[in-house]
Structure 1
Amino acid sequence: MKSKRFLAMVLAGCMAATALTGCGSSGSSSGSDSSGDAKTVSLWATGSDNVREVYETLVDDFNKNSEYAGKYEVKLNFMLNGTGTQTLTDMLASAKKANQENTDYDIVDLGGDDLSKVVSQIGEDAFVKLDSSKVPNAAGVSAKSSVATDYAQPFRGTTVVLAYDSEKVTNPPKTWDELTAWIKANPGRFAYNTPGTGGAGDSFARTAVYNFMDQEAITSDDTKWEDSWGKGFEYLKSLHQYMYKSGGSIVYPNKNQGTLDLLNQGEIDMCPNWADMVLSQRADGTLKDTIKITQIEPALTGSFQSLVIPTFGSNTDGAYAFMNYMLSDKAQELLVHDMAAIPLIDTSKIDMTGFEDVENLDVNNFRIMSIGDLSTDFNQRWDNEIGALG
């Protein structure tokens, strides 16, 4: 596993790379074996620090204990959210547009919006069309990516839910209308974080807006849909006066953790948050046992994390091996226990003790949203029309 010092070197090397060439050329500072050892598989991922920690555990298990141990060795290249100016999607797009070949982008973990963004820039054929015979563990996985379906393999689910204090809320809302009524009947007891600072608040705001729109819009990055945002933003404005207050002023907390802290401290009674975030913190004792989760109808949005294999990588066979490993019973159980991820395989095959709530989150009923670069415009409009209300 890489040290923090080495991670910093990785990021520094990547950020120093030019927008034209990215950081994917063979022998870069990303951790690829410069000797060209056929065993090396370069894995790229991005996210928060807890995701990095889980990946370090998974990579270590793959390299030492999996059926592929000794045949392949995965090297993790992880980019923490908010570090540097060049994103992983930018780097992939740059490498493809520069016609690079045999890079160290062997296998890449992308969420819904990031996958949509990179596909809109370089097309789905920048990735290997997946051969199911090389991913036998995917046979029991029903989840499908809404973008680049034949090129992206989902391996874990995540969704935003309502987190609430069961001592204060004995009958949580079951529908969006019931939630609206609860918020108005309990002024100051609900909060959602600023959309641009975390996915939970982003999901709440987006879902509120897209509830007024055609279903097809939820997985489209076509700018025409921006003309249909009006009703939803008016709805969000109508809720503004009932949001959490501090010092007499309406406050939208920073980050997903901001709202969860308010809930844990008793400052609010309900908020949207990631299911895995709530359950993992409750499991390790940093969140009160009385904090529960529930989903409403229409549902708050979720997403799949998917693995893709760029056509300009260097080790397709090794990439397939790691993809197959990530859908193994062992890897799925690690994801559940280390980050309360929603597994995509049959849960009867893995130990779900302490994470029974996860079993009630059926990935087949997920409301997946993927709007690509529209998310930037959406968050700017929220800042201008909702955040600025004061």
Structure 2
Amino acid sequence: MLKKLVYLAVAIPLLCTVFISCSPKTGKALTGGEATLEELLNKPWAEIEAQAKQEKEVVYCVWMDEAEWTQVGKLFTDKYGIKVNLVLGEKIAVMNKALAELSGKGNLDVMMLSGETVNSLMNANALASGVLGKLESKSKLVQGLSLRKEGVSNDKQYWAPVNINPAGFLYNTNNIKNPPQTWKEFEAYIDQNPKRFGFCLPEKGGTGQAMMEAIIANLTGGLDQYLLDPAVDSAKLSKWQTVWNWLDARKDKIVYVNNNADAIARLNSGELDLVVAWNSGVNSAVKTGEIFKHYGYYVPQFGLCYSGDTLAILKNTPHPAAALLWLNWITSEEAQIAAAKYLNFMTARTDVQVDVSMLAPGESDKNVDWMSAVYKTQYISDFTRNILQ
């Protein structure tokens, strides 16, 4: 147990899409005498740590899990004496803030990347390259997210993965004895049990996006065709009418829920018997008693996506050494174990096993990669137009 904790600055929320600026800086940004980020990439970690302590803070932007990241940040502060200023914000608003500051010295150091923002940030030359290759744990991080994020290549080593989070089917074992595994069995379950299956609206949460990608992949000829496209392929898009017809035919049989947590809550209340859920959400619900004991959790044979968070440093970071030290620490064995404890995510390191998986051994082997992010934007928009309106 830590005897002394140095508290983070107050996290600043974003209301709607308006970015509220960070609290006044107490740290020391670059003044001209310190090494730049590009120079730091060629310096030993002892020198990077020394400069980071002079900078005194790192500004870290996330869009979720404020309380949990606060706890993780306290451990970094306790170890190095460097304050983590946590900024909580909606993905697009944070991206727009970063892009608006590109012409000068920015206020943000490290960002959690999303599929919706990574392309725009890369195209604007907003991210620092070479970061992954500098990290001491680079060879021990999961290969998939180290190489690619939702169809976007990390060949310039912009980001580092910090966790993984499988999606699966969560169900009531009292009411479902043989949960669906194949696509044909899944269709039959929905048709024979109307209003007992639900998933999150794709614009409201990643579990809904995972379900949409499974639907698209299984109805249009497989996932692989969508993995690497830099832009939407109109020929592939033309096949999606089958998807909208499939969903429309089951509009009175599927329940759409408001967010990832809402799916678990409706299962627990008895309204639903089968939902899509993240491993982290199931883990948290079990710990807090927000799910009954007679639950089952698995990945169907037809596959569901796995998620994972990646972090990148902005090219105009005001605290380059502190930003590098934060990424190096958060991918260390020590930090990965702590982050798994607080965030309920599985670690991004292949050599660290933490008991947070709610899946039976081998189940996560059925998880699949994400489509290129351009298709996510497309199906979210099309879902609203074709299904909700």
- TM bin, normalised by shorter chain, reads 0.7 to 0.9
Q: Is the aligned partner of 1:38 residue 2:40?
A: no
Return the alpha-carbon distance in structure 2 between the equivalents of residues 343 and 318 of structure 1.
22
Q: Which residue of 2 aligns with 1:238?
A: 249
Amino acid paired to 2:341? H
Q: Which residue of 1 aligns with 2:168?
A: 161
* 1:147-170 CA-partner distances (Å, limit 9, x unpaired): 241211111112321111122222
Change (3 A) 1:31 1:304: farther
Change (3 A) 1:159 1:285: same
Q: Which residue of 1 aligns with 2:37?
A: none
8 A contact 2:264–2:277 mirrored in 1 = yes
* 1:94-134 CA-partner distances (Å, limit 9, x unpaired): 222xx223x23222211333323433x414x73222253x3
RMSD: 3.0
Q: Which residue of 1 aligns with 2:381?
A: 380
Of 276, 281, 284, the residue aligned with 2:280 is 276
Q: Which residue of 2 aligns with 1:189?
A: 196
Return the alpha-carbon distance in structure 1 between the equivalents of residues 250 and 173 of structure 2.
23
Return the alpha-carbon distance in structure 1 between the equivalents of residues 360 and 311 of structure 2.
22
Of 70, 74, 82, the residue aligned with 1:56 is 70
Amino acid paired to 1:122? A
Alignment of 1:362-381 (within 5 A): 362=364, 366-372=368-374, 374-381=375-382
Q: Alpha-carbon deviation of 1:88? A: 1.1
8 A contact 1:280–1:338 mirrored in 2 = no
* 1:352-387 CA-partner distances (Å, limit 9, x unpaired): 2x6453865648954223414x54442232122222
Return the alpha-carbon distance in structure 1 between the equivalents of residues 27 and 238 of structure 2.
49
Q: Which residue of 2 aligns with 1:142?
A: 142
Of 100, 110, 133, the residue aligned with 1:107 is 110
Change (3 A) 1:303 1:116: farther
Q: Which residue of 2 aligns with 1:93?
A: 99
Q: Alpha-carbon deviation of 1:206? A: 3.1
- What SS does the corresponding residue of 2:260 show, helix, strand or coil? helix
Change (3 A) 1:326 1:337: same
8 A contact 2:170–2:275 mirrored in 1 = yes
Q: Which residue of 1 aligns with 2:38?
A: none
Q: Is the aligned partner of 1:116 residue 2:119?
A: yes
Q: Is the aligned partner of 1:180 residue 2:187?
A: yes
Return the alpha-carbon distance in structure 2 between the equivalents of residues 29 and 229 of structure 1.
46
* 1:212-232 CA-partner distances (Å, limit 9, x unpaired): 156242454513344442222
8 A contact 1:112–1:305 mirrored in 2 = no
- What SS does the corresponding residue of 1:229 show, helix, strand or coil? helix
Of 76, 99, 115, the residue aligned with 2:85 is 76
Q: Which residue of 1 aligns with 2:47?
A: none
Return the alpha-carbon distance in structure 1 between the equivalents of residues 196 and 72 of structure 2.
39
8 A contact 1:201–1:272 mirrored in 2 = yes
Amino acid paired to 2:135? V
8 A contact 1:264–1:287 mirrored in 2 = yes
Amino acid paired to 2:137? N
Using the TM superposition, name which of 271-280 and 219-228 deviates more.
219-228
- What SS does the corresponding residue of 1:299 show, helix, strand or coil? coil
Amino acid paired to 1:33? G
Return the alpha-carbon distance in structure 2 between the equivalents of residues 105 and 185 of structure 1.
51
Change (3 A) 1:100 1:62: same
Q: Which residue of 1 aligns with 2:345?
A: 341
Using the TM superposition, name which of 379-388 and 34-43 deviates more.
34-43
Q: Which residue of 2 aligns with 1:297?
A: 301
Q: Which residue of 2 aligns with 1:229?
A: 240
Q: Alpha-carbon deviation of 1:34? A: 5.5
* 1:24-77 CA-partner distances (Å, limit 9, x unpaired): xxxx646462675733342332223xx111111111101113xxx14xx14223
8 A contact 1:45–1:78 mirrored in 2 = yes
Q: Which residue of 1 aligns with 2:213?
A: 206
Q: Alpha-carbon deviation of 1:194? A: 2.0
Of 267, 273, 286, the residue aligned with 2:271 is 267
8 A contact 2:228–2:371 mirrored in 1 = yes
Of 356, 359, 362, the residue aligned with 1:357 is 359
Q: Percent identity?
A: 16
TM-score by length of 1: 0.79
Return the alpha-carbon distance in structure 1 between the equivalents of residues 242 and 320 of structure 2.
47
Where does structure 2 lack aligned partners over 5 or more consecutive residues? 1-6, 31-52
TM-score by length of 2: 0.79
Q: Which residue of 2 aligns with 1:249?
A: none
8 A contact 1:203–1:300 mirrored in 2 = yes
Change (3 A) 1:369 1:265: same
Q: Alpha-carbon deviation of 1:351? A: 4.5
